Chains A and B, each alone.
Chain A
Amino acid sequence: MDKWWTLTVGGIAGGAVYAALGLSLVIIFRATRVVNFAQPALALLSTYLAFTVNQATGTYWLGFAVAILAGGVLGAVSDRLLIRPAREHGELGSVIVTLGLLLVCQAVAGMLWTSEPRSFGYAFDFRGLFSPAGVFAVLAVLATAGGVLALFKFTALGLRMRAAAFAPEAASLVGVRVGLMVTAGSALAAAVGALAGLLAVPPLLYPTVLDGVFVYALTAAVVGGLDNPAGTVVAGFTVGIGLSYVSGYFGPELVTLASLAILVAVLTVRPHGLFGRGLARRV
């Protein structure tokens, strides 16, 4: 029972990270209709920048702020330079372009910071069942998710972003600057991704550190529905708890395969995720 409790609490903290990265995938998918496989790589670069700032100044929070900001800039730049032209090359083409960006970012991180694992600290003390670091992760992600949902739902900017994503032509006819809104969405997505990176990386930072996390986040996003932010956050926590049980009772090396099993099982029953809306197919 004690073990079950520890695993559940640990799973919630882990799930916060998957929820954040999954949310970042959902935001960019809603804005561009592209699943951005480079999202974890942008988060990786942001986290490495935080690492450098931490080393140079010795303050955690300055690095934290730099990473979030850098995430936003990277997201906007990658949207303008790559994702936008890639969208014209169909589903397969845009997936391949983002995969290319993933490889380039990971390689650049390796060149600049080497593949040696670097120690990257937690924001707070990480010891204990309800460690301050874990509580911070959960609260930060919940606050971010709440903020993003409120942005989409209640603000004029959010309405414009939704309009630009769902009906670009109609939106531009009523004066929404569609391109700008899409770029804003990408920047927001990458900033949320950077937050996920900062929470996911500790204790060690190396170029492939987010590969596994990305799989779990993708599972969360797909299970929650790629166009459903709230569903994805719920799915992120659920996946986190589920995978924590797998890791605790069956072994940590099976977690990725368990994640694959969840992904396949859910998609087989509901091809657009548990909370996603299916699209009618025009024949």
Chain B
Amino acid sequence: MSLLTRHALLGLLALAGIVVLTSVVDPYTDVQIATVGYYLVAVAGLTLLTGTNGQISLGHGAFMFIGAYTVALLVIHVPTFPFWADLLLAAAAAGLAGALTGAAAARLHGPYLAGATLALAVGLPAITQRFPDALGGSNGLAFTVQSLPTGLAGTVPQTRWQAWVVWTTALLLLVLLANVVRGRFGRILRAVRDDEVSAALAGIHIGRTKILAFLLSALCGGLAGGLQAFLLGTAAPGSFTLALSLSLLAAMVLGGVGSLWGALWGALALVFVPQWADDLTKALDLGTDVAQHLPIAVFGAVLIAVVLAFPQGIHGGINRSLARLFRKKETHENNP
């Protein structure tokens, strides 16, 4: 079985699981499941850039911003476009921005790259103030997406359908990314990450590779932002703060840098940590100020703790314990 077939089968299996799962839970949980889906897309893109190619980005919130506003503007001004075309264009717009960022970033590394992308994350959402008529200023844009096919109207609730759309897109993208990472381009990305000089000597074009990695990663970010806009029906600068970009980074680091499975654990954390924090502060009666900021504190602590204590992240931890489990079994079989 080829790699693509295996990944595609896994993706179909996961989609079937999502369809079953969304059918048994309430609409609120449907929205949460969909939220995990779009965060997964964003974190997967980031992990490709940082884990596989070794470039850090603190600006993925900005790419999500571009994606969300592309969808918002298309829905409002070109309502005849089907929603999947909006999503594709959102990904394309963010990918273009990513290629530009990558071109500027190709010569930067480590803290310089972090600083430049940080400026992007802080600066880009401010352009909504520049064009308050077109982009809605700090209130952003609100709109309605009519995507439910007429055949399904009445039988499938809106939120469940949205969760399906988000996850179909997410899984398609993951299958693509899994193949990219395992294939020739993935090897090139890793070669550039590990040793630029050797990679260049082996005939790899360093700058082009880094730009392509940024393009692909930003494309994921834009798609995630587009899906978010599709799901929530709003796009506002307040959702794309520096804290969002850093939370995405935290999610990636927590899951395990460079692993697509890790991106899933990270995306789950992005959705459920705020909820647990909310429950916890309510149970302890700590007030809304604590509840509002606790998730960010948790993500910050995660960044520190994971790097210092277990750099492999959750996915690395799972892999190691699985390996230990199987080794134990083998020794048992060998010495009955």
Contact = CB atoms under 8 A, between A and B. Distances in A.
Interface of A: 34-35, 37, 82, 85-86, 89, 91-93, 95-97, 99-108, 110-111, 114-115, 207-208, 211-212, 214-215, 218-219, 222, 226, 251, 253-257, 259-260, 263-264, 267-268, 271, 283
B118 A218 contact: yes
Chain B contact residues: over half helix, strand or loop, or mixed?
A: helix
B294 A218 contact: no
B293 A111 contact: yes
A91 B174 CA distance: 29
Contact of B54 (A92, A208, A256): A92
A91 B111 contact: yes
Contact of A97 (B197, B290, B307): B307
Contact of A85 (B242, B292, B297, B308): B308
B302 interface: yes
A260 B116 contact: yes
Contacts of B246: 99, 102-103
Contacts of B241: 208
Nearest to B115: A218
B119 interface: yes
Chain A contact residues: over half helix, strand or loop, or mixed?
A: helix
Contacts of B124: 257
Pairs of residues from A and B, 9 with the lowest C-beta to C-beta distance, nearest first:
A103-B300, A100-B303, A256-B123, A107-B297, A35-B111, A104-B300, A110-B293, A91-B110, A260-B119
A214 to B, nearest CB: 8
Contacts of A85: 308
A283 B198 CA distance: 9
28 contacts: A82-B304, A85-B308, A89-B308, A89-B311, A92-B110, A93-B311, A95-B56, A99-B58, A99-B114, A100-B300, A100-B302, A103-B246, A103-B296, A104-B304, A105-B300, A106-B243, A107-B293, A107-B296, A110-B289, A111-B294, A212-B122, A214-B118, A215-B119, A218-B115, A218-B119, A222-B112, A257-B124, A267-B112
Contacts of A214: 118
Contacts of B305: 100
B111 A208 contact: no
A108 B58 CA distance: 21
B300 A208 contact: no
A217 to B, nearest CB: 10
B104 interface: yes
A256 B119 contact: yes
A211 B124 CA distance: 13
A268 B100 CA distance: 13
A86 B119 CA distance: 23
B101 to A, nearest CB: 9
B6 interface: no
A39 to B, nearest CB: 12
A110 B277 CA distance: 15
Q: Which of B118, B130, B250, B311 counts the most chain A CB atoms within 10 A? A: B118
Interface in B289-323: 289-290, 292-294, 296-297, 299-305, 307-308, 311
A211 B122 contact: yes
B128 to A, nearest CB: 8
B158 interface: no
A271 B108 CA distance: 7
Contacts of B304: 82, 97, 100-101, 104
Contacts of A208: 241-243
Contact of A264 (B116, B242, B247, B296): B116
Given A97-B304, A111-B297, A263 B122 contact: no
Given A211-B122, A256-B126, A263 B297 contact: no
B292 A253 contact: no
